[in-house]
Structure formats: structure tokens, C-alpha cells
Amino acid sequence: MPPTFISKQGLEKLKEELDYLKKTKRKEIAERLKRALEQGDLSENAEYQDAKDQQAWTEGRIAELKNKIRSAQIIKKEKNGTITVGSQIKIKNGGREIEYTIVGSQEADPLEGRISNESPIGKAFLGHKQGEKINVQTPEGEIQYKILAIS
């Protein structure tokens, strides 16, 4: 399994969600199942079926979180002047300046300026240095960016 690049805070969020699902959500679902079973006939019991569906989703999410936590690799900023996962970059496209942070896919949120290292734009910047111009193939066509700053 490839590593899941994630910040220390992002890893803590995953651990908190896992803890909640295991300690709280499982108990809530078990209680719902118990109440539904007390109603008798399960063949037409929507409450029971809904609780079973919720249980299946929760167990699947627990397994997913365990795998992500197991394969987590904490992002460490490199000081070698090249863009890596964890770098904050300022780029220029035409007359427009944009700031991004390169993050793992788990924490990506383009509207907040966090782009995944697996996205076409994120991949294109990895390994480049300040002052370089790079071309990125996007759905709208090829776009040229100039790297203004890396921190």
C-alpha cells in the first residue's frame, strides 16, 4: 500500500474519527439494533435494515481509517529549495498570483488553497525550484506557471 502523506494535524483528525467510530458510533448502532430486534418481525423492519446499513458503513470506514493511519507518512518540509509535499508555494499564471500548499490527497481542499500531490497541478510542481517556469496540462489546455516563492 502506498504511503498516505498527511500532516500531523490531519493524522490526529483521522485518529479522533476512528476513536469516535469505535467507542461511540458502534455503541449507538448496537443500541438501535437491539431496539429494532425487540420489535419482532425483521423482514419488514425499516429501523433494523437502516441500522444494519449504518453498521456496515461504519465498519467499512473503520477499516479504511485503520489502513490510512497504518500507511500514514507525516509530511516534513524539505529545506533544499525544491517543492515537495508540505511546501507552500506562490506561483504566477499570466498576471495572476496564486498561493498553494502541496498536501497529501487526504487533506486536499482546492478552495482553501491546499492541492494534492496526486493532482495534475500538484504533481507538476513537485521537484521544481523557485524561478522555474513549468507547463501543466489541464482540461482547459496547457497552462504555464512561474514559481515565485517556496516556503
User: Residue 151: what pLDDT?
Assistant: 87
User: Residue 52: what pLDDT?
Assistant: 92
pLDDT in tens, 89-133: 999 988 899 999 999 888 899 899 999 998 888 999 999 999 999
DSSP 113: T
CATH 3.10.50.30 range(s) for the chain read 88-150
User: Residue 113: what pLDDT?
Assistant: 92
CATH hierarchy code of domain 88-150: 3.10.50.30
Q: 4-74: which CATH topology?
A: Helix Hairpins (1.10.287)
State which residues of the chain have pLDDT below 50: none
Instruction: Look up residue 69 and give its three cell numbers.
Output: 493511519
Query: For the whole model, what pTM was predicted?
Result: 0.68
User: Residue 65: what pLDDT?
Assistant: 94
CATH 1.10.287.180 range(s) for the chain read 4-74
Please count the other Cβ atoms lying within 10 Å of the Cβ belonging to residue 97: 12
Distance CA 40, CA 50 (A): 15
